[in-house]
Amino acid sequence: MRSAAFVALLAALGCSGPIAPPSEGKDRDGAARALVLRKRALGVMGTSLVIEVLGEDEAELERGIDAAVAELRRVEDMMTSWRASPLTRLNDAAGRGPRRVPPELAHLVTESKRIGALTDGAFDITFAGVGKLWDFKARPPVVPSREQIARALKVVDYRRIAVDGDASTVALPAGMRIGLGGIAKGYGVDRAMQVLIDRGIRHAFVNAGGDLKALGRKHGKSWNIAITHPRDRERVLAVIPVANRCVVTSGDYERFFVHEGRRYHHILDPRTGFPSTGCMSATVVGPSAAFCDALATACCVLDPKRALSIVESLDGVEALVVGMDGDVQLSSGLQER
């Protein structure tokens, strides 16, 4: 189905979701009051962050944004692999038995294993064992040898991670490393939104580099999310109005290099150790940004048919995928609309 039909098909997404849609504020006479909009843009978790909130108290909105940003940075400090963190300490202890980790980290590892099983290993946080061979910033670029990748793949298998949720421990086999780049950003967005909700904010939008969550409405209307073409970032494929939902897009356009006429991108197939050949991009809509983040990554690894079959098996989850041939396909929940 071509992009001209997308907007009409996707428009019905706007008001579904697990959070009850809030109403606009009203004065004593029952008339709607205009809400103040506050917006902040900055960087966090290695990407751009935009937070928008609406409410009646401007100072409280600013404090809410402060708290949401602090929460995202807390999650980053726990789950980053770029500097010392509970995650790097866990990786350094691989092969030395169970290690106590923050409960949130144990939970996210457990969730990652579940998504790994759901996606036939297309999402696998132990990809980091082979991912370390790829440097998409190196100039000139270097492609790892097949022998190097074959050796690294020996420690890539999410099923070998042992997690004890009650004890909050994780055990990794010797040589194994985990990376949470495909789920931690979404989890941070979930946590930032929860902080805003806990502070009484009823209309908000959190977007961390394409992992976004929308709460309530923006001046009485759904939040509009533009989905762009993975090969032409100025071309809009769809505009999705959402309220109380998450939208996450993953694609092979974020980091890549061309070597000897071949394009290599950063979304690796953990089963082969090479860049995935499933989809150019995948957009997943659902209630949890962490889950959508991981599933969108997996959909890029899988071919469109298998990716959409997984989406069809899930309640409350929809997807739009762009195959490597440029063909755009929708899950049945979108097609029906």
Which has more confidence, 99 or 226? 99
- Residue 92 CA, chain-centre distance (Å), reads 26
State residue 230's pLDDT score.
Answer: 87
SS3 sequence of the chain: CCHHHHHHHHHHHCCCCCCCCCCCCECCCCCECCCEEEEEEEEECCEEEEEEEEECCHHHHHHHHHHHHHHHHHHHHHHCCCCCCHHHHHHHCCCCCCEECCHHHHHHHHHHHHHHHHCCCCCCHHHHHHHCCCCCCCCCCCCCCHHHHHHHHHHCCHHHCEEECCCCEEECCCCCCCCCCCCHHHHHHHHHHHHHHHCCCCEEEEEECCEEEEECCECCECEEEEEECCCCCCCEEEEEEECCEEEEEEECCCCEEEECCEEEECCECCCCCCECCCEEEEEEEECCHHHHHHHHHHHHHCCHHHHHHHHHCCCCCEEEEEECCCCEEECHHHHCC
Confidence of residue 25 (pLDDT cuts 50, 70, 90): low
Residue type, 52: E
What is the set of domains in the chain, with CATH numbers? 86-171 (1.10.3980.10)
In this predicted structure, the answer to whether residue 184 has a pLDDT above a threshold of 80 is yes
State residue 333's pLDDT score.
Answer: 83
In this predicted structure, the answer to whether residue 272 has a pLDDT above a threshold of 70 is yes
In this predicted structure, the answer to whether residue 10 has a pLDDT above a threshold of 90 is no
Mean predicted confidence (pLDDT) in 17-41: 61
Mean predicted confidence (pLDDT) in 215-226: 93
Confidence of residue 231 (pLDDT cuts 50, 70, 90): confident
Mean predicted confidence (pLDDT) in 68-80: 97
State residue 11's pLDDT score.
Answer: 36
In this predicted structure, the answer to whether residue 261 has a pLDDT above a threshold of 50 is yes
Q: What is the overall mean pLDDT for the chain?
A: 89
Q: For the whole model, what pTM was predicted?
A: 0.88
State residue 20's pLDDT score.
Answer: 36
